[in-house]
Chain A
Amino acid sequence: MSTQYIPHTEDDIRQMLETVGLSSLEQLFESIPEAVRLKRPLDVPSPLAETALLREMKRLADTNATAESHVSFLGGGAYNHFIPSVVDHLISRSEFYTAYTPYQPEISQGTLQAIFEFQTMICQLTGMDVANASMYDGASACAEAVLMAVRATRRRRVLVSQALHPDYRETIRTYCRYLNVELVDVPFDATGGTSLEHLRPLLGKDVAAVIAGYPNFFGVIEDLAVLGEEAHAAGARLIAAIQEPLSLGLLKSPGELGADIVIGEGQSFGIPLSFGGPYLGFFACRQQDVRSMPGRLVGETVDLEGRRGYVLTLSTREQHIRREKATSNICSNQGLCALMATVYLALLGKSGVREVAVQNFSKARYAREKIAALPGVSLPFSGQVFNEFVVSVPGKAHSVLEKLEQQGILGGVALAPFYDGMTDRFLVCVTEQNTRDEIDAFVNALAGGL
């Protein structure tokens, strides 16, 4: 029974068994004791041919609301951005996507050079000295940043802004669960940014790091420079978490503002929404911390004949060599997602990243002003935002979002599941994908639902 993915004919099998010196396929599994064998067929659905498979997959896909079937103002850590056709075209080169980790550099130079370019562009965007080859996502990169700060400072207290993405905060808690790291929440203030008033008394000689979003979960642009000064005065690291990296096209780089570790989510750089993953964690830091970084690094070198080439390097930090003493247990990176981001950034380049950022910022400003003018609506936070902002509709957030849904509009992310006392609020995101007409229709529908 040869199939499209399994080439063996009955003749092949007979001949191969003969070479092996066995008379049946069952004998191949003799080392598995009878008692632990499965004695019935697996209870999974019968096989589907390609046409039937695609029909079933389309059935499942067609029931989901998408940024194509609906007008979407959803953000909150995943963003609906324009992806040039070139991105998918290039990452579909199977020399890229059917390869694995570049363990053999002589036949992996494509992957290695692309990662080197990725590392470079992350440094350019964040203003940092070094970036790794990528991590699973923004949330896990954030947790790894906390662990690195703890290693580097030998301190065990970490101050976490409550305005940091809730999934990132939960992931940090999970990673630190059994590592004797004390996580202290720092409240936000009326600007929607981290409260300095609450931060200052918490800072002491036992603090390894302060973490804040830039922009944070409420879309607010934190005052990183001040957070950095406060953290550094106590000898702590400042970790900036970037959940919307296109903001870096417009905002001062975290490196320039004094961040010591910059991590983030790279999904905005050409990676499809895909219901939450796979995405792209990026991780950048100062030169001083390079040897305590987690994850893979690609470095430049030369071959026997002096030609430039790239290799995985500084791997004595990693689990396959250091085992339980490694800087992280991470083994893979997000290779193909990092490639998507590299292609995206190459296409947009210096002017494009700025232009997309300006469009996001301008459209969000336009929507925010129109929404703020509606009676019965308020904007609870006063801080400057990039492309998303919090809206408050007392007593009605749930019903307003439902009414919008009925008109084909995904109006925002309700904040009630993430914060106590935020039943009135939702988070609205506007990107370059939203036209002025869509925004106007959204504002009208919102007004009608109040």
Chain B
Amino acid sequence: MESLGTNGLVLNEKLLFEHSDPGRKGYSLPPLDVEEAVLPEALMREEIAGLPELSEVDVVRHFTRLSTWNYGVDSGFYPLGSCTMKYNPKVNEVAARLPGFAAVHPHTPENLCQGALELMYHLQAALGEVSGFPAMSLQPSAGAQGEFTGMLVIRAYHDSLGAKRTKVLIPDTAHGTNPASAALCGYDVVPIPSGPDGVLTAEAVAQHMNEDVAALMVTNPNTLGLFESQIADICRVVHDKGGLVYCDGANLNALLGIARPGDMGIDVMHFNLHKTFATPHGGGGPGSGPVGVCEKLAPFLPGPVVKKEKGAYRLETPSGTIGRVKAFFGHFGVMVKAYAYIRTMGPEGLKRAAQMAVLNANYIRARLEGTYHLPYKGRSLHEVVFSDRDLGGDCHTLDLAKRLIDYGYHPPTIYFPLVVKGAIMIEPTETECVEVLDEFCEAMKAIAREAEDDPDRLHQAPTRTRVRRLDETAAARKPRLKWEG
């Protein structure tokens, strides 16, 4: 098999500051057309020491070279589990850059930004329909802030009833943001183990459930890629004791048009527009993390939300709001892209996305089961989690991940979820064709053979990249967090 990964001419590039040459600049401004005003000396700084001086060409080459050291979805297969690295449609980028969106100031009077508000209104409605939640806030900046928002809403609701609840139940398969968000709301976190088949049982929840518990936080499908099949019973158990159920919507891609969290008894859920709705991940952000809630929680949402009245759109702050979690209305530029995606896909397209995402994950599972150890055998939805148990030659998940880079792939998510030792979490998404999946599976199998026959190839990997394995211990021991000349 010919590897996708190969060697090519990659250019070195210094830091911006090391390029700097006094007197160069990379911009032009019209000359000042009023008298230059002078700031009192006591307030004025000296020149900004260290800021670089570069020509436009310098800057363009610098960042173009840097870009070639990156790997994106447009470069190749990026099966990063739980992150839903699907293809980012280009027309959505064009839409978000229309001046009527990109150049609108957030303090524009409502009567002069009706189109922006209309888009938000329709997005609120579409997300509500997809998830089964009647009320929506588009404000949270990303998934973690959405979680925080959702948990604040839960706490505000309990407070409004005069209930003193102090605990939040979180299964051991949860993302780290779940306990961190709950803690920010002043809750004590009670971890609960998932069952031997990786699924949470209503029984386990019942054991921990009492009047001290404010909420259960679940991820469905969970981080093992399994549907929490007892979800309806679990919700009943929590509700019977007056608690609420929060759903981490990170894995919503598997459920589009198939099932809706709001219909399962879940009370609050955050979306990740950058996962499910195909907006770019941007090298780490910006994301967007809207929150949907059931009717009784609507008054507590952060404001403002968009309402329609007599044919006009306006901003309104809910009566019992927890307050805003950021300035203005949320990541509007990301909302434009998500809305464009929903309009392109339509009802059948969204369902098709879920079906093909799940088919792709199951296809990879079928092709690799037998080569890699599959710790949980339940029906996979959007992702499949293997482990490194059967990998030979004293090779581990990290070695496999690094060797995959040499083969030309972005590695899967590794060492997560924590319930699987040496986890290899693969989420192909629906935008990959069968040929890509086949090639990836062949690479995975070839690496398993190498681990037996020539384990050093894994231990030394990656070897084709611009830099090889980096010394993270040294980085943390003596942190160098900026350029100091």
Contacts and interface: CB of A to CB of B under 8 A. Distances in A.
Contacts of A347: 25-27, 54, 56, 59
Interface in B198-257: 226-227, 229, 231-232, 255-257
Contact of A61 (B74, B98, B148, B482): B98
21 contacts: A8-B356, A42-B129, A44-B342, A53-B344, A60-B118, A63-B118, A65-B108, A95-B71, A136-B326, A167-B326, A250-B45, A252-B44, A273-B106, A278-B141, A279-B327, A304-B469, A346-B62, A347-B25, A352-B29, A355-B29, A362-B36
A358 to B, nearest CB: 6
Given A114-B63, A256-B45, A313-B472, A100 B85 contact: yes
Interface stretch (B184-192, B291-299, B389-397, B446-454): B184-192
Given A78-B107, A86-B59, A111-B284, A274 B468 contact: no
Contacts of B85: 100
Nearest to A105: B470
A78 B471 contact: no
Interface stretch (A117-125, A184-192, A195-203): A117-125
Contacts of A154: none
A107 B29 CA distance: 37
Interface residues of B, number: 197
A15 B434 contact: yes
Interface string B373-392: 00000110100000000000
Contacts of B195: none
Contact of B100 (A1, A62, A436): A62
Most buried by A among B80, B107, B175, B410: B107
Interface string A402-446: 000100001001000000000000000000100110010000000
Contact of A346 (B54, B116, B143, B330): B54
A21 interface: yes
B250 to A, nearest CB: 10
Contact of B152 (A178, A250, A334): A178
A120 B476 CA distance: 17
Given A28-B379, A45-B343, A66-B99, A332 B106 contact: no
Given A125-B48, A349-B51, A384-B40, A98 B281 contact: yes
Contact of B37 (A61, A300, A362): A362
A248 to B, nearest CB: 8
B259 A36 contact: yes
Contact of B48 (A108, A276, A330, A354): A354
A435 B103 CA distance: 18
Interface string B325-353: 11111111110100010111111111111
Interface string A138-178: 11100000000000000000000000010110110111011
Interface in A204-248: 221, 248
Nearest to B31: A359
A140 to B, nearest CB: 5
Interface string B93-118: 11111111111111111001111101
Given A99-B72, A278-B333, 15 more contacts: A7-B431, A8-B430, A31-B226, A93-B63, A100-B78, A177-B185, A274-B101, A275-B104, A277-B326, A319-B177, A326-B180, A326-B183, A343-B63, A355-B29, A410-B105
A382 interface: no
A386 to B, nearest CB: 9
A348 B27 contact: yes
Contacts of A342: 16
Contacts of B367: 19
A100 B482 CA distance: 22
Interface in A382-397: 384
